[in-house]
Amino acid sequence: MPSDNLSVSVLEADRADAFEHTRIVSDRLPDDPDALVLEVLRFSLATNNLGYVMLADFLRSWDAYPSPTPGWGRVPVWGAARVLAAPPGVADVGTVVTGYLPMATHTALRAAAVPEGVLAVDQPRAAMLPIYRRLTTAPPVLAQWDEHQIDVDTVLLAVFPFAALLARDLQQQTDRVVVSSASSRSAAALARLLSGAGTAVTGLTSARHRAAVESFGVYEQVLTYDDIAALPIGGDVVYADLAGSAEVGAALGTRLGSRLAATVVVGGTHLRSWSADAPQDPTVSVFNTGDREQELAAELGQEAVEQLYLAARIDLNGWACPWLQVRTLSGLEAADATWRDIAAGRSDPLSAVVIRP
């Protein structure tokens, strides 16, 4: 199917005010015989997408699917797409791939075949980390899953690589972990993989979300941020900071003292409230999923990383399906409304949204 025959709808955001000023535009894909043309089937929207805007310079988020209009951008999401057209040797028509996509009905990009699927090679996206450029062929197990399992998988696409990589690292460091922002799916998924491997995990959350966090069934103990002083003191602890709060980190340091063996600041959270002028602490490290994937792939090979991902993907799907309520909505108008709800803090740890554009 020639790409110039496709009328495309795309949700864009004003880069100066992305949480409040959005628009849906109509376009046509460029007539490029070397392009991989994709029909976007579904994607999930969650608080992690806000981070792609807040940390856009750090993550190069606007480079994923640039808008042709100056000052506007296309917020990337995690989802699934079907190949409509591809150059010979790149992908088969009809193949379903998952990865980083625009909020759009269709998209086109230059890509090269890799064992996992395809890898975007066009500029400026070629400078991004591979995890944001790779569209992975859907594993065979998905063919056995029902619609709810597929929707849950869509929600977890943004989560399982992070959880798989960090859980592997933490299991080698400690048998006790404290996790902040425990109501987030990223934190809960991490706790699921850790607790399944025998690591005791304490979750820190707000009083409003405590009951929901306890219902996840992955934390040995759940405390509110105001109750950090009640945290039991035993063996050495590693703190996984998903909240990005220097105050929480300081409170844990006061409570645990020398028992706080290490702090792992996740992703871009270190850019939020940890002061860049603070003295460098050798026990504090920054974890970035894309960087860590590259390191582990260099050590073990990408195939081993993909096997780690697949095991986490299957495990987390089985864990989340019984309790995660997924609302499926149609159209980019629904995506726009959902985006505004998330930006305003109107989200529920026990539910998620999947958009079929």
> Residue 232 carries which side chain, given as an amino acid letter?
P
Q: What is the mean pLDDT of residues 135-162?
A: 96
> Lowest mean pLDDT: which of 43-57, 109-123, 138-152, 225-239?
43-57
Residue 350 tokens, joined: 């026990």
> Which pTM value belongs to this model?
0.93
Average pLDDT, the chain: 92
Model confidence pLDDT, tens digit, residues 45-77: 988 888 888 878 877 889 999 999 999 999 999
Containing 265, the helix (H) or strand (E) segment is: strand 260-266
In order of start, what are the domains of the chain with their CATH numbers?
3-138+325-356 (3.90.180.10), 160-294 (3.40.50.720)
pLDDT band at 219 (very low <50, low <70, confident <90, very high): very high
CB 11 within 8 A of CB 332: yes
- How confident is the model at residue 113, as a pLDDT? 98
pLDDT band at 345 (very low <50, low <70, confident <90, very high): confident
Q: What is the dihedral of CA 235, 240, 245, 251, to 10 degrees?
A: 0
Give the residue from 301, 324, 314, 128 showing the smallest Cα distance to 216.
324
Judged against a pLDDT cut of 70, whether residue 99 lies above it is answered with yes
- How confident is the model at residue 3, as a pLDDT? 52
CB atoms near residue 25 (< 10 Å): 16
Q: Using CA atoms, how far apart are residues 255 and 277, in angstroms rounded to an integer?
A: 24
Judged against a pLDDT cut of 70, whether residue 216 lies above it is answered with yes
Judged against a pLDDT cut of 50, whether residue 276 lies above it is answered with no
Name every residue whose Cβ is closer than 8 Å to that of residue 35 and which is 6 or more positions away in sequence.
Answer: 3, 29, 85, 87, 108, 109, 110
- How confident is the model at residue 4, as a pLDDT? 52
CA angle (175, 274, 224) in 5-degree steps: 55
Q: Helix axis angle, 332-343 relative to 47-54, nearest 10°?
A: 80
Q: What is the mean pLDDT of residues 279-293?
A: 82
| H runs (alpha helix) in 55-198 | 56-59, 130-133, 147-156, 160-171, 185-196
Judged against a pLDDT cut of 90, whether residue 147 lies above it is answered with yes
pLDDT band at 247 (very low <50, low <70, confident <90, very high): very high
- How confident is the model at residue 244, as a pLDDT? 86
